[in-house]
């Protein structure tokens, strides 16, 4: 019997996956979780064949969580389930050891096939994902730059629509410092205004 674990912060989605799996003869969902940390602590005491994980979770993002899972339990197969269609996200999660990437708007057949494909040791993708992978993007070449804690903190405030001055006040810093951080981030992502900064950073799960 193949043992699965499911991670998704939406119970209804878990319900959907569980009911899908239970229709299959040789598989069983033995654990479902709404956060990455819950999954990790479960994996410490249980052996799991396949993990289906949502890329957008409240505590960690799928890229990091996938790496954690593979580190903890290298033979566990990880399949990402996501809404994100950014090529770089897909590629990075695959590099971190995922065996598949299936979009949430994929049909249930696609998901079912994906699980079976991954079980055979192949890579599993939903149709749309294959198209995304097929055409390389210029943005990928940049890689995924790292933001420091301070930068992330400031980015979040920028994303809320706060001005440099008010952020400076809130963090007890000079406005010039805030500007420097903003500009450093903009340079890292090669964008030319704050809105683009937020958009790209959000896409790349940098916030």
Contact 85, 139 (CB under 8 A): no
- Residue 56: contacted member of DNA, a second copy, none (CB under 5 to 8 Å, by partner type): none
Report angle CA 169, 170, 173 to the nearest 5 degrees.
55
Contact 53, 78 (CB under 8 A): yes
Contact call for residue 143 and DNA (CB under 7 A):
no
Tell me how far apart the alpha carbons of residues 102 and 111 are, in angstroms, rounded to a whole number: 7
Contact call for residue 175 and a second copy (CB under 8 A):
no
Report angle CA 82, 15, 110 to the nearest 5 degrees.
45
- Residue 182: contacted member of DNA, a second copy, none (CB under 5 to 8 Å, by partner type): DNA
Locus of tokens 């790209």: 200
Of 71-79, 138-146, 172-180, 192-200, which part binds a second copy (CB under 8 A)? 192-200
Q: How far is the CB of 16 from DNA (least distance, A)?
A: 40
Q: How far is the CB of 77 from a second copy (least distance, A)?
A: 18
**What residues line the site for a second copy (CB under 8 A)?**
9-20, 34, 81, 104-108, 111, 158-161, 163, 191-199
């Amino acid at each position: 019997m193949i043992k699965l674990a499911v991670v998704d912060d939406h119970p209804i989605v878990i319900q959907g996956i569980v009911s899908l799996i239970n229709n299959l003869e040789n598989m069983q969902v033995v654990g479902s979780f709404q956060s990455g940390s819950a999954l990790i602590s479960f994996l410490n005491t249980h052996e799991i064949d396949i993990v289906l994980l949502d890329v957008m979770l409240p505590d960690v993002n799928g890229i990091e969580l996938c790496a954690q899972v593979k580190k903890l339990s290298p033979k566990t197969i990880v399949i990402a389930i996501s809404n994100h269609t950014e090529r770089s996200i897909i590629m990075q999660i695959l590099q971190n050891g995922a065996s598949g990437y299936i979009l949430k708007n994929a049909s249930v057949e696609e998901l079912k096939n994906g699980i079976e494909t991954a079980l055979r040791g192949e890579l599993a993708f939903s149709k749309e994902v294959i198209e995304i992978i097929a055409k390389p993007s210029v943005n990928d070449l940049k890689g995924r730059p790292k933001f420091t804690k301070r930068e992330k903190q400031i980015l979040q405030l920028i994303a809320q629509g706060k001005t440099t001055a008010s952020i400076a006040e809130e963090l007890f810093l000079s406005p010039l410092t805030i500007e420097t951080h903003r500009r450093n981030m903009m340079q890292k992502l090669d964008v030319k205004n704050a809105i683009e900064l937020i958009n790209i950073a959000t896409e790349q799960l940098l916030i």
